[in-house]
């Protein structure tokens, strides 16, 4: 009788377990990374201690001791380094916000003109895009600043009307003086914008359900204009203007927009618009020609076809790379330090760093701020990109 022998099962080692290997190597990587960070931190703290430099962020409460000209918020040399940091932060946010708006509008116009059938318009837009985006941005900032400095002096400034003067120091304009109830006007504006968005969504659902159209665009636009105006006059028009007065050597009163801000804003917007123009052109070309032909067959005018058919579909291609351009513009605003514009790198990352010697802390603050701004822009643009994405039925 044959004796049956049972095969002894082989013992499996942990090393042959794929899950164990995965956890092991991940833990090893985290450990090496943590050791490297701890080593760098310890080495940095030791070097700072040997040089007599105290670590920490306590220096932010010390007196700055330096002046900054043409700041967006009140500041003088007796304020703290934290106040100087706020000056730089507001300067960066201000130029980045308006730069993104101007660059977007100008870039969209250029992108559409690049597709024009008019040879002259097409070639002019092409030459502009190719020249501007291939010249270093810092050089363009210096060029615009030199152009503004070549303008007439205060006594010979150009009068633009409505109390506005243009000269080599920048732009002087009337300064608003807000009354006690003026806050109700911007609140009414936000309410009107929300109502316009709601009307637009309702009109779209109504059209999908019944096929009937509703003038949501003009209704929303009228609401956005009418409600704040009615609120403004209903509260007694709580707004006055301080007109700048031209003296012998300088202006008194009014709102000052400096040549440094204008040069930086124009350069950033013009440079970024050249890239946005190519993004817009690529997005429009990505829309199937059959969409345009179908719109023409239905009797839509060319401008209606562009606004209602082409652009909404092209946005799905335009928005992702457009986000990168907004991020680049925000980070490129740091070049304003080269012309003396009081932004983040010029204040906390420049003068404060040199005066206090707190290089690590100042650089960490600067990096953290730019990272926060960039992540906020990315989050907003990702939300907008999802909102315009095609929804399959």
pLDDT of residue 1: 45
Q: Indicate the domain borders of the chain.
A: 81-174+243-387
Q: Give the whole-angstrom CA distance, residue 377 versus residue 314.
A: 21
Pairing state between β 255-258 and 245-246: unpaired
Q: What SS3 class is residue 349?
A: helix
pTM value?
0.80
Q: What does residue 70 show for φ and ψ, rounded to 5 degrees?
A: 55, 55
Distances (CA, A) of 387 to 199, 315, 354, 383: 16, 11, 46, 6
The C-alpha atoms of residue 115 and residue 109 are separated, in whole angstroms, by 10
Instruction: Provide mean pLDDT across the span 204-216.
Output: 82
Contact in structure between 325 and 279 (CB atoms under 8 Å):
yes
Residue 295 pLDDT exceeds 90: no
**What tens digit of pLDDT does each residue of 220-273 get?**
889 999 999 999 999 888 888 888 887 777 888 888 888 899 999 999 999 999
Q: How confident is the model at residue 52 (pLDDT cuts 50, 70, 90)?
A: low
pLDDT digit string, tens, across residues 331-375: 999 999 999 899 999 999 889 888 888 888 899 999 999 999 999
Q: What 3-state DSSP class applies to 177?
A: strand
Positive or negative torsion for Cα 53, 54, 55, 58: negative
- 56-65, 141-150, 246-255: range with lowest mean pLDDT: 246-255
Pick the residue with more confidence: 316 or 377?
Answer: 377
- Among the CATH numbers 3.30.1490.100, 1.10.3720.10, 3.30.70.980, 1.10.1130.10, which is that of 81-174+243-387? 1.10.3720.10
pLDDT of residue 42: 78
Least confident of 53-57, 121-125, 352-356, 380-384: 53-57
């Amino acid at each position: 009788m044959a004796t049956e022998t049972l095969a002894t099962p082989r013992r499996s080692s942990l090393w042959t377990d794929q899950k164990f290997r995965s956890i092991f190597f991940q833990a090893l990587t985290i450990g090496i990374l943590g050791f490297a960070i701890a080593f760098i931190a310890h080495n940095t703290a030791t070097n700072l201690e040997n040089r007599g430099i105290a670590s920490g962020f306590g220096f932010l409460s010390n007196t700055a001791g330096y002046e900054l000209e043409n700041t967006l918020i009140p500041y003088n040399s007796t304020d703290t380094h934290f106040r100087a940091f706020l000056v730089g932060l507001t300067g960066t946010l201000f130029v980045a916000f308006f730069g993104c708006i101007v660059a977007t509008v100008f870039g969209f116009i250029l992108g559409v003109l690049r597709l024009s059938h008019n040879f002259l318009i097409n070639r002019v837009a092409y030459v502009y895009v190719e020249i501007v985006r291939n010249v270093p941005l810092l050089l363009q900032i210096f060029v615009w600043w030199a152009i503004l400095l070549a303008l007439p002096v205060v006594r010979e400034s150009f009068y633009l009307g409505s109390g506005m003067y243009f000269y080599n120091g920048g732009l002087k304009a009337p300064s608003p003086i807000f009354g006690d109830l003026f806050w109700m006007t911007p609140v009414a504006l936000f309410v009107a914008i929300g109502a316009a968005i709601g009307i637009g969504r309702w009109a779209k659902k109504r059209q999908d359900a019944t096929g009937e159209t509703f003038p949501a665009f003009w209704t929303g636009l009228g609401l956005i204009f009418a409600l704040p105006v009615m609120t403004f006059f209903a509260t007694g028009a709580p707004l006055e203007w301080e007109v700048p007065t031209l003296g012998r050597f300088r202006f008194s009163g009014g709102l000052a927009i400096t040549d440094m801000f204008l040069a930086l804003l124009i350069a950033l917007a013009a440079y970024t618009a050249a890239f946005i123009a190519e993004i817009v052109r690529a997005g429009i070309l990505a829309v199937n020609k059959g969409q345009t032909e179908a719109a023409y067959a239905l009797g839509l005018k060319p401008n209606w076809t562009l606004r209602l058919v082409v652009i909404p579909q092209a946005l799905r291609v335009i928005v992702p790379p457009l986000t990168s351009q907004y991020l680049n513009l925000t980070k490129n605003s740091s070049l304003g330090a080269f012309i003396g514009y009081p932004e983040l790198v010029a204040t906390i990352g420049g003068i404060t760093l040199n005066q206090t010697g707190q290089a690590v802390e100042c650089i960490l603050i600067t990096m953290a701020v730019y990272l926060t701004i960039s992540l906020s822009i990315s989050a907003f643009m990702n939300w907008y990109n999802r909102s315009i994405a095609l929804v399959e039925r």
